[in-house]
Copies of this chain bind each other. A is one copy, B any other.
Amino acid sequence: MAAEKIATRSADYSQWYLDIVNRAGLAENSDVRGCMVIKPHGYAIWEKMQRALDRMFKDTGHVNAYFPLFIPKSFLAREEQMAEGFAKECAVVTHYRLKAVPGGGIEVDPAAKLEEELIVRPTSETIIWHTYKNWIQSYRDLPLLINQWANVVRWEMRPRLFLRTTEFLWQEGHTAHANQEEAEKETKRMVEVYRTFAEEWMAMPVIVGRKSEGQKFPGAVYTLCIEAMMQDRRALQAGTSHFLGQNFAKAFDVQFQSKEGKREYAWATSWGVSTRLVGGLIMTHSDDQGLVLPPRLAPLHAVIVPIFKTPEERVNVLEAANKLAASIRDLDLRSWLDYEPVSVKVDDREQYQPGYKFNEWELKGVPVRIEIGPKDLAKGACVLARRDLPGRESKEMGVPLEGAAKRVGELLKAMQADLFNRAKTFRDANLHEIDSYDDFKKRIEEPGGFYLAHWDGTRETEDRIANETKATIRCIPFDRAKEAGKCMVTGQPSAGRVVLAKAY
């Protein structure tokens, strides 16, 4: 398993990413074009993400529900931007039955053609707002704060594991409000939830801001987003929160009686993050030895590798290992780990040597490795190794077994903080102000990175930059300096700098 080396980031970043996904057992391509199989280790990371996000959603007053996978074709057509934005990537169900072919095999039964084709949901605004029509009669029914965990399908011509797949898993929040102010507050609240999750759980620093017209969600009045920098200095859009105005309420005729007794259209938001985050997590922290996981999202926090030669040594070492594992499980990190216990495994497999096990757990990104051998045991000690530090620096030798569990807890917390700080230092070092479009065109190629530039605010200039450089406006950051200037492309007035980068 740990036989061949993985590609290095500097030699071939794309291959490095695929090697990590493959060798750490996270996902693989299926025989269905663009659809991936999420393998147990990859799915366990997604489960950790789900759990933390779900609690944050519930803590902000949301409840979960489930809406149909299929959407009648005509629903999609009702909201114009949405039809335009998604029509080109929809999987279409046209029949509801197969039949046996005389002589063997099965074929689509032409007699079972649907009157109206069904679309496999690319996102659920249409079917949900169609449903909300019956749920919303009065201001008393508002706000409606609903989230759905689901699979969605957007036909993908150039798939890439986790980052861009035809089918992906996500959550989509769909809220309805009695007035614009409340809906806009919700839109902002949820992008803040995403920022908190990205930074405090994924240890991934993000820039929060608003999308330009060219990059907003089809059907939105505006889109807020979090943007992260990967280790190749490209941007990853990691989460979006949309203010939908009354667009969907009007398309699906969702009116309610206001406190003042008037009929009004409801105001909407929607917001989502997906399994793409697993790709972002990999590309933010991992190294040339394999996956690196922030402890708060690691399915396994620590692994104990016993080292022995004789059967007697084996018994003693395993006893000490199991005792230590138990005391690590008892660590009180529950609130930090969302009420789950610390997860620790004693790797007592007999068919593999310690070196093989070290490699395997390194590849899989287990935050802390613990080694216990007869020599350590004689001193009542063990060796601790942090996954995120290089070579010798990662190791703490002769840690007394008695205090080892506590030390593991400290290392997990330190690693979580250090991963964030390291990623932020990297991001900040590759974030530059720029004023010359010629410079920009060169530097976006080499060394790459995020560029803060003045832009005249027009769609025309936005499109020109995209066509000429393949870079896009990632966002208009919330915290940008109030600094008037001139567009680096056209010289026209600009109200402030925006973030430009090449993106996944």
Contacts and interface: CB of A to CB of B under 8 A. Distances in A.
A119 B98 contact: yes
Nearest to A68: B35
Contacts of A118: 32, 91
A77 B106 contact: yes
Given A47-B64, A151-B69, A167-B68, A105 B77 contact: yes
Contacts of A99: 87-88
A72 interface: yes
Contact of A120 (B43, B63, B93, B108): B93
B38 A351 contact: no
B66 A169 contact: yes
B65 A153 contact: no
B94 A108 contact: yes
Given A32-B118, A98-B88, A118-B32, A68 B106 contact: no
Contact of A84 (B67, B96, B100, B151): B100
Interface string A37-50: 11110011011000
Given A66-B38, A69-B151, A99-B87, A131 B30 contact: yes
Contacts of A151: 69, 150-151
Nearest to A97: B88
Given A89-B97, A93-B92, A119-B98, A70 B35 contact: yes
Given A43-B65, A65-B37, A169-B66, A92 B95 contact: yes
B70 A43 contact: no
Interface in A323-341: 339
A24 interface: no
A96 B166 CA distance: 10
A155 interface: yes
A146 interface: yes
Nearest to A62: B40
Nearest to A74: B105
A76 B105 CA distance: 9
A7 to B, nearest CB: 21
Given A30-B68, A98-B92, A63 B40 contact: yes
Contact of A67 (B30, B63, B66, B88): B30
A96 B91 contact: yes
A72 B40 contact: no
A251 interface: no
A106 B93 contact: no
A73 interface: yes
A71 B91 CA distance: 13
B131 A69 contact: no
Interface of A: 28, 30-32, 35-40, 43-44, 46-47, 63-73, 76-77, 83-84, 87-100, 105-108, 117-120, 127, 130-131, 134, 140, 146, 150-151, 153, 155, 167, 169, 339, 351
The 3 closest A-B pairs by CB, nearest first: A35-B68, A38-B66, A87-B98
